[in-house]
Amino acid sequence: MFAFLIRRTAYGLITVLGVLALLFVLFFLYAKPIDIARRAVGEKAPPEVLEKWIENHGYDRPVLEQLKDHYRRMLTFDFGRSDLDDSSIKERIRRGVVPSLTLTLPLFFMGLFVSIGLSLFVAYFRETYIDRAGVALCVFGMSVSILIYIIGGQFVIGKMLRWFPISGFDPTPALIARFMALPVIIGILSTFGSDVRFYRTVFVEESNRDYVRTARAKGCGDGRIMARHVLPNAMIPILTRVVVAIPFLFTGSLLLEAFFGIPGLGSMTVDAINGNDFSTLRAMVFIGSLLFIGGQILTDVSYTLVDPRVRLG
């Protein structure tokens, strides 16, 4: 197991190096320094000011040197300063983590609870009207863009019914739930369709396996079969999907944060896009990848815990 972990992490690190190379190609070879400078300082700025800016930010050095610098800095998490407002990227990241988590943690756990619960319910009644209606609802839900969920949700729940404030963020513990309620609800609703559909398929497929027939033949009731036989086996594919999503708890949901005015990492990324802030964007993509790779390693490790065939070979 230990050897497996080492190997897996090593491959992950190599992948990280690959990701960094790709990022470098994307950001430096395609974006001309003069354009970045113009965007940061202003279109009308005189050439000397632009050149000074380029020199300050190190965009005028030879490519190989920039590449080495890129690797060195990224791997030491020295993200530098934003192209837009020269603020420390690392600081902004530090400040943005908590707001992002206040959105994504409840979203993740409640979403998981609700989706798995409902898909178990639908799978239990498979091939009946409940199941068919459930699947139809899921397909409908999947076909609606998340934008519509957000806009519609804000309108219906926020404006018409006035249950929760439409947007805004207040970190004081007493008020935070009210502000988080709408984005969490809408976030769950938007991925509900595809999640339940996926989990249901997994549960139904496991329910049709031979060992379930054996369990029934030895006298297990349907409920026990679901809980003790189907669920543990279904965990294996479900875990892939779930654990991989954990890293995104940190990077936050771009759309939800922007629409609901939550000052987290997602908002930061959206601002970077709108302002062509390559430095910040580069840092965000890098962090996203690190977390993603970490999530994949976590998934592989969780397999060994859940599936004896993987653990014992």
Partner 1 sequence: MSVVLRVRELSTSFSGPGGRVCVVDGVSLELAEGEILALVGESGCGKSVTALSILRLVPKPGRIDAGEIEIDGQDVLALSVSAMRRLRGGDAAMIFQEPMTSLNPVQTVGSQVVEAIRLHDSVSQSLARRRTVELFEQVRIPDATDRFEAYPHQLSGGLKQRVMIAMALALRPKLLIADEPSTALDVTIQAQILELMRDLQRDLGTAILLITHDLGVVNELADRIAVMYAGRIVEEGARKEVLSGARHPYTRGLMRSIPSLARRGEPLAEISGVVPSPSEWPAGCRFSTRCDVVFERCRAEVPGPTRLSNTHSTRCHVVEREESA
Partner 2 sequence: MEPHTISNIVVASLIAAGGWAWTRAARSDLWRNAARELRQRRPVALAVIAIFVAVGLLDAVAWIGGGEGAENTLAQSKPRSLVDRLFPIGFKEASYSAPLAQAEFYGGKPLKFPARHLLGTDILGRDVLHLSLKGVRIALLIGGLTSLIVIPLALFLGISAGYFGGRTDDVVFFVMSTLASIPSLLLLIALIMALGRGPVQVCVAMGVTSWVGFCRIVRGEAFKLRELDYVQAARALGVPEFRIILSHILPNLMHLVVITFVLLFSGLVLSEAILAWLGIGIDGSWGQMVDQARDELARDPVVWWNLMAASSALFGLILAVNLVGDAIRDILDPRTLRENL
List residues binding partner 1 (CB under 8 A): 127, 208-211, 213-221, 228-229, 232-233, 306-309, 312
Residue 98 binds which of partner 2, partner 1, none (CB < 5-8 A, kind-dependent): none
Contact status: 145 vs partner 2 (CB under 8 A): yes
Dist. CA 69–CA 61, nearest whole Å: 10
CB of 123 to partner 1, least distance (A): 13
Write down the residue that tokens 């998934």 correspond to.
299
75, 180, 240 from 68: Cα distances, Å: 11, 42, 35
Nearest to partner 1 of 173, 308 (CB atom): 308
- Report the residue from 119, 154, 191, 233 that binds partner 2 according to the rule CB under 8 A: 154
Residue 217 binds which of partner 1, partner 2, none (CB < 5-8 A, kind-dependent): partner 1
- Report the residue from 8, 31, 90, 263 that binds partner 2 according to the rule CB under 8 A: 31
Dist. CA 113–CA 220, nearest whole Å: 25
Dist. CA 186–CA 12, nearest whole Å: 34
What residues have CB less than 8 Å from 226, skipping those under 6 apart? 120, 123, 124, 203, 207
Residue 279 binds which of partner 1, partner 2, none (CB < 5-8 A, kind-dependent): none
CB of 215 to partner 1, least distance (A): 7
Quick one: which segment of 57-65, 103-111, 118-126, 287-295 binds partner 2 (CB under 8 A)?
287-295
Token digits for 263? 């000052």
Dist. CA 45–CA 305, nearest whole Å: 60
Contact status: 288 vs partner 2 (CB under 8 A): yes
Dist. CA 57–CA 61, nearest whole Å: 10
Contact status: 225 vs partner 2 (CB under 8 A): no
Contact status: 151 vs partner 2 (CB under 8 A): yes
Nearest to partner 2 of 1, 148 (CB atom): 148
Binding mask 52-91 for partner 2 (x = CB under 8 A): ----------------------------------------
Dist. CA 105–CA 53, nearest whole Å: 40
- Report the residue from 6, 274, 305, 311 that binds partner 2 according to the rule CB under 8 A: 274
Contact status: 123 vs partner 2 (CB under 8 A): no
- Report the residue from 26, 67, 298, 306 that binds partner 2 according to the rule CB under 8 A: 26
Binding site residues, partner 2, CB under 8 A: 11, 14-16, 18-19, 22-23, 26-27, 30-31, 139-140, 142-148, 151, 154-155, 159, 201, 205, 237, 248, 251, 254-255, 269-270, 273-274, 276, 278, 281-282, 284-285, 288-289, 292-293, 296
